[in-house]
Amino acid sequence: MMGQGKLTHRLSTQDAAFLYNDTEEAPMNIGSVAVFEGEISYERLVENLGQKMHLCPRYRQRVVPAPLNLHHPTWEFDREFDIHDHITLVRLDPPGSDGQLRELAGRVFEGRLSRDKPLWE
């Protein structure tokens, strides 16, 4: 589909269903936790991910509602995309237990994602 002079892609019916069913009471987020040995600095992580963003263009796109909601929304590039809006540094209190990690993950995943930017954190 063409829109505003650029190629856009409409959400699939399945993706749109997730979006339509997403509420404050029941966010439709999907999340995961990966634990690695060693440490990487926030700056290096942001730099490494930033260098790979071109491999997954969807990470730089936001959901834009169709006019009058007559069709599923479209994915459109966020002209104000800033990777720093999506990567947050959090630390567990030392020594850091599995329970602390589960509690932190629960807090991070519990809220709805902002529709004003690409849908990932």
Residue-range definition of the domain harbouring residue 80: 2-110
**Do residues 29 and 105 make contact, with C-beta atoms less than 8 angstroms apart?**
no
User: Domains in the chain: how many in total?
Assistant: 1
Residue 118 lies in a domain: no
pLDDT of residue 2: 40
Question: How much is the pLDDT for 54?
Answer: 94
Could you read off the pLDDT tens digit of each residue along the chain, which spans 121 residues? 444 446 679 999 999 999 999 999 999 988 988 888 888 899 999 999 999 999 999 999 999 999 998 999 999 999 999 999 999 888 888 888 999 999 999 998 888 999 999 999 9
- Specify if 117 maps to a domain: no
pLDDT score at 95: 87
Asked if residue 80 belongs to a domain, the reply is yes
What is residue 39's predicted lDDT score, i.e. its pLDDT? 84
Residue 78 lies in a domain: yes
